[in-house]
Amino acid sequence: MPHDPIQAANALARLQIAEAKFAEAQEERRLAILEAVRADNPLRAVADIARCSRETIRRIVASDGQVTIEFDREYRLGGQSINFVLFRLQGFGQRAFGPNPVIHGTDNTWLAAADHLAGRIEAARAQESGEPVRLTEQTAFALHQSLLQSQKTNPSVLLDLTEALARRYRPRAA
């Protein structure tokens, strides 16, 4: 069959839509499991309907959307903190926010790593395994760049992570 670029593009677009629906369905499933358990349903009944083990249900309830980010140590983020991190990473990674050359410099190669890291964090939040998201040099720098100019003053795990990244990527004197 000869290569048809329109058919190839349509196939990729269809896959992209299916992948987005799959991610939404995973999150909807996770939320439904949490709701069922919080309504005092037996774990066995929830596990049977979700077609997974009771241990998997326990892990979902225990993590409740939290993500562990591994950098110089493990940082467990959840709730508003992980939503904020995703907002920043996705905003820069999908070019909704433009980097400020004065703050971020002129090398924008980190933007692709920000988008990649956002996807990994989203996947980890929906996963049942609780595996940490290990930062590479590129994704750590992207996270650092994404969190610049975000004022965090209250003691928190996110503040600790931001400070660790800032120590690592401190601007060098000219």
Determine the average pLDDT of the residues in 10-19: 90
Could you tell me which of 33, 37, 121, 30 has the C-alpha nearest to residue 82? Answer: 121
Q: Note the pTM of the prediction, 2 decimals.
A: 0.65
- Whole-angstrom Cα distance, residue 31 to residue 52? 15
pLDDT at 47 over 90: yes
Residue 174 has pLDDT above 50, yes or no: no
Residue pLDDT, tens place only, 59-113 = 787 777 788 999 999 998 887 888 899 999 999 999 888 888 888 888 889 999 9
Q: pLDDT tens digits for 106-135?
A: 888 999 999 999 999 988 887 766 789 999
Question: Is residue 143 a contact partner of residue 89, using CB atoms and an 8 Å limit?
Answer: yes
- Quick one: how far is CA 163 from the chain centroid? 19
CA 40, CA 98: separation in Å to the nearest integer?
A: 46
